[in-house]
Amino acid sequence: MLGALIAIALLVVKPTWGIPALFIIRPLVDTQWEHPLVLGLKLTEIVSVLVPMIVLSRAAFSGDQRSSLRSLPMRGMWLWWTVDVASFSAMIAYSSGAMDGLNVFFRHVNGLAGFYMVQAYMSEDDADTRRFVWSLVLAGLFPVGTGMVEAITGHHWNTTYGEDGVVRGIGLYHDAITIRYYALQTIMGLLLLCSLYVARRRLLQAAAMVYGLAALVVIQQAYSKAGATIVAAWALLWPTLRRKYRQLAALCAAALVVGAWYGTQVMSAVGFIFKREIGALEGTSTVNHAFAGRWYLWQDMLGEWQSFGILAKTFGAGHVATGAHNDYIQILFHGGLVALSVYGLLLSLTLVRIVKNLRAERGVFQSAALLAFVMWVVDTIGLVPSAYSGYQWFVWGIIGLSFRKVADGAANRAVAAVPGRQAAPRIYIAGAAEPGGLMP
């Protein structure tokens, strides 16, 4: 709680320090998921409400062009999505109660908060970006550390079961997705750190490799199909996008060696995680048993949606569906076909922008944006990532940072292309007639 108060205070007075502080403290905050603090609200819920209120208020009243909403990439699309979220949240508040409506609204609006705050405050100066990257790395110390304690000792703070009764390593969190996405966030931070800031520091590179392997162990102990899929996709995409073909060849060679020596054990571990899916493909079990039995839930929810009237199908059912285990079904219940269309358009335009940026330049942040997008899309199938505020800060923050870095690069090249002009540094004049005493 003390860490959360410090991070919130920093966010108010100095966002360039407050945002990294939020990322570092969030894994600790999320351990309080079952402990009401004020008016029945948990600390994780309080933080998830205060952060969008603070950063979006700053955006609305900011006099600085860079932190203004006018400079937000994909501003129009995010505006439509936010208006739609506000509309169907109001319907839920009317039908199910004010607290349910506010719950849904703040869950979804944290995507905009994450997208806005990272690109607005962590992209202008390289020192700010470095601080943000380090915050991703440092944020993983607690979840990865507790996950490794579980893996080594067999002690579990919370006991949840996967398929066939296996105990999943989830640390002090509510479910496996939380510790797993923190482990993936850690890996992303390490990729950015090693690519940008410690490329020639061998000791730090070695430490980062050990840290990354520990994060992989945590993901494996969570027995997550989505986690395994995302790790495999990242392992292929990152060296390919970065044109590190030697690394890709070495990775493939290592996989072949491991497969040759430990093929049975590896296939047993992989087959265990995807046991139901493999059985459905082989015909030894039905497709309804795939995805940890989520097919039954999806069928029931879609059957319920079919029974709705035309207005509920179009604009939303008016009740909470955060337990849908599918982001698209969740949005369909919350906001109907209209919201699902807007959400699909938001994802489509985001992917188009990412691919366009990659075609122009395969930089570190452009590549990271695609990895984050892949992570999001994989999780939308069996989970509801738009209901997790910390998850949204990470994924949409990386994507927003990428877009702003590309826009800044284009602006600098445009200035440099004008004869006799060059991009000038900001010069602050003391004693200017501004309320802060300084004027750029």
Q: Mind spelling out the 3-state secondary structure of 16-71?
A: HHHHHHHHHHHHHHHHHCCCEEECCEEHHHHHHHHHHHHHHHHHHHCCCCCCCHHH
Do 292 and 280 contact (CB within 8 A), yes or no?
no
Is the residue at 431 inside a domain?
no
Whether 317 and 399 map to the same domain: the answer is yes
Whether 39 and 16 map to the same domain: the answer is yes
Read off the pLDDT of residues 255-288 as tens digits, 9 standing for 90 and up: 676 656 554 555 555 555 555 555 555 555 555 5
- What is the C-alpha to C-alpha distance for residues 271 and 276, in angstroms, rounded to an integer? 9
Amino acid residing at 289: H
Read off the pLDDT of residues 294-305 as tens digits, 9 standing for 90 and up: 788 898 999 999
Is the residue at 329 inside a domain?
yes
Amino acid residing at 311: L
pLDDT at residue 440 greater than cutoff 50: no
Residues 6 or more apart in contact with residue 346 via CB below 8 angstroms: 74, 77, 78, 81
Residue 281, pLDDT score: 55
Given pLDDT bands bounded at 50, 70 and 90, which one contains residue 112?
Answer: very high
Is the residue at 312 inside a domain?
yes
Given pLDDT bands bounded at 50, 70 and 90, which one contains residue 23?
Answer: very high
Whether 42 and 97 map to the same domain: the answer is no
Is the residue at 96 inside a domain?
yes
Read off the pLDDT of residues 401-429 as tens digits, 9 standing for 90 and up: 999 999 888 777 777 766 665 555 554 44
Among 150, 154, 162, 142, which Cα is nearest to 226's?
162
Tokens of 138: 């440092």
Least confident of 119-128, 193-202, 367-376: 193-202
Read off the pLDDT of residues 24-76 as tens digits, 9 standing for 90 and up: 999 999 999 989 988 889 999 999 999 999 999 988 887 777 888 888 999 99
Whether 87 and 21 map to the same domain: the answer is no
Q: Could you tell me the CA-to-CA distances from 161 to 27, 169, 385, 440 in Å, in that order? A: 22, 9, 21, 57
Do 395 and 375 contact (CB within 8 A), yes or no?
yes
- What is the C-alpha to C-alpha distance for residues 439 and 426, in angstroms, rounded to an integer? 10
Whether 115 and 192 map to the same domain: the answer is no
Whether 153 and 212 map to the same domain: the answer is yes
Least confident of 175-184, 269-278, 340-349, 386-395: 269-278
HSE, side-chain direction, 13 A CA sphere, residue 32: 21
Residue 97, pLDDT score: 92
Q: How many CB atoms lie within 10 A of CB 316?
A: 29
Whether 142 and 110 map to the same domain: the answer is no
Given pLDDT bands bounded at 50, 70 and 90, which one contains residue 251?
Answer: confident
| E strand or H helix at 144 | helix 141-153
Instruction: Please state at what angle helix 15-29 crosses helix 98-121, rounded to 10 degrees.
Output: 130
Report which of residues 333 and 264 the model is more confident about: 333
Q: Could you tell me the CA-to-CA distances from 313 to 304, 318, 394 in Å, in that order? A: 11, 10, 31
Read off the pLDDT of residues 82-103 as tens digits, 9 standing for 90 and up: 999 999 999 999 999 999 999 9
- Which percentage of the chain shows pLDDT scores above 70? 84
Is the residue at 163 inside a domain?
yes
Whether 331 and 389 map to the same domain: the answer is yes
Least confident of 96-105, 120-129, 169-178, 424-433: 424-433
Given pLDDT bands bounded at 50, 70 and 90, which one contains residue 384?
Answer: very high
pLDDT at residue 142 greater than cutoff 90: yes
Which residue in the block uniquely carries the two structure tokens 């080594």?
Answer: 152
Q: Give the single-character DSSP code of 140.
A: T
Is the residue at 296 inside a domain?
no
Read off the pLDDT of residues 193-216 as tens digits, 9 standing for 90 and up: 999 988 778 899 999 999 999 999
Residue 87, pLDDT score: 96
Longest dimension (CA), the chain: 78
User: How many structural domains is the chain composed of?
Assistant: 3
Residue 242, pLDDT score: 85
Q: How many CB atoms lie within 10 A of CB 322?
A: 17
Amino acid residing at 173: Y
Do 187 and 212 contact (CB within 8 A), yes or no?
yes
- What is the C-alpha to C-alpha distance for residues 257 and 254, in angstroms, rounded to an integer? 5
| E strand or H helix at 429 | strand 429-430
- What is the C-alpha to C-alpha distance for residues 208 and 401, in angstroms, rounded to an integer? 23
pLDDT at residue 438 greater than cutoff 50: no
> What is the average pLDDT across 332-359?
96
Arithmetic mean of pLDDT over the chain: 86
Q: Give the single-character DSSP code of 387.
A: G
pTM above 0.85, yes or no: yes
Residue 25: give the domain boundaries. 1-61
Residue 439, pLDDT score: 44
pLDDT at residue 293 greater than cutoff 80: no
Whether 379 and 325 map to the same domain: the answer is yes
Is the residue at 244 inside a domain?
no
Among 108, 92, 111, which Cα is nearest to 320's?
92
Do 316 and 337 contact (CB within 8 A), yes or no?
no
Whether 111 and 146 map to the same domain: the answer is no
Whether 107 and 55 map to the same domain: the answer is no
Whether 105 and 167 map to the same domain: the answer is no
Tokens of 18: 């407050």
Tokens of 349: 């335009």
Residue 430, pLDDT score: 46
Is the residue at 284 inside a domain?
no
Last residue of a domain, one of 9, 37, 61: 61
Which residue in the block uniquely carries the two structure tokens 């000791």?
Answer: 203
Kind of pairing, strands 160-161 and 41-42? unpaired
Last residue of a domain, one of 200, 223, 246: 223
